Amino acid sequence: MTALLYSTPLQMLMVQNHDAGWATILPIILVMNARFALMAAVLARSFSSEPLGRIACYITLLVPTVFANCRTRFNRDDGHALTYFAGIGLPLYLTSLFAIMAGHLLGPGWSNAGILAFDRFALALFLTVLAGRLWPHRAEVAAFAIGFLATPLLGPAFGALSVLGSPMLIGSSVAVWGEIGRRRR
């Protein structure tokens, strides 16, 4: 699914490194897709009572946003897990399809500074709303806030791979920080 939808990091990587060749890009694609296997493994317990065929129908909805919402909800209550998963994922999936089609059809005429500024504002607002839904899980909220603040600063350090390097550095730092805190308790 990374190659078809929800693929902004992959698309940026391929555009920025079009001459790098598959030997460079293929391992990065595999690493990016490995996150889906990890997300599925974390959520698997909540779907244990569902038939595999039914779960397979919804697997394309597994993206980081849906995962974060489900993980937060399933920590409290995993009743009707697949219904909740589909209820969060399907609107996001359909919105993404619509946005891709609209961007393809209308994009060339809308490329101006006002639209780009609105796009950045809308993304920041969306991420803020997601972070708010994760409260009181401080590590997850901290990861959003640190990512929002640090990604522009880390861009030059990673160069063309900033789309991949910045989130991995921030995510692993927050995970290590959380693990150190748990061990101290």
Q: Poorest-confidence range of 6-10, 27-31, 58-62, 86-90?
A: 6-10
40: tokens are 């599925």
Side-chain half-sphere of 144: how many Cα atoms within 13 Å?
20
State the DSSP code for 6: S
Q: How far apart are CA 17 and CA 31, in angstroms?
A: 17
Q: How far apart are CA 33 and CA 53, in angstroms?
A: 21
Mean pLDDT of the chain: 76
DSSP state string for 12-71: HHHHHTTTS-HHHHHHHHHHHHHHHHHHHHHHGGGGTTS-HHHHHHHGGG--HHHHHHHH
16 pLDDT band, cuts 50/70/90, is low
CB atoms within 10 A of CB 22: 8
Contact predicate 130/65, CB 8 Å: yes
- Where are the chain's structural domains? 1-111, 112-185
Side-chain half-sphere of 59: how many Cα atoms within 13 Å?
15
Q: How far apart are CA 119 and CA 23, in angstroms?
A: 33
Confidence (pLDDT) at 151: 72
**pTM score over 0.75:** no
State the DSSP code for 2: T
170 pLDDT band, cuts 50/70/90, is confident
Closest of 178, 42, 66 to residue 130, by C-alpha: 66
Contact predicate 82/50, CB 8 Å: yes
Q: How many residues in total does the chain contain? A: 185
Per-residue pLDDT of 96-155, as tens digits, reads: 888 778 877 876 666 667 766 666 667 666 766 766 666 777 777 777 777 777 777 777
Side-chain half-sphere of 62: how many Cα atoms within 13 Å?
22
Residue with token string 């730092």: 173
State the DSSP code for 139: H
Q: Does 79 score more than 80 pLDDT? A: yes
> Which residue intervals of 44-161 are DSSP H helices?
52-58, 64-76, 81-110, 113-134, 138-158
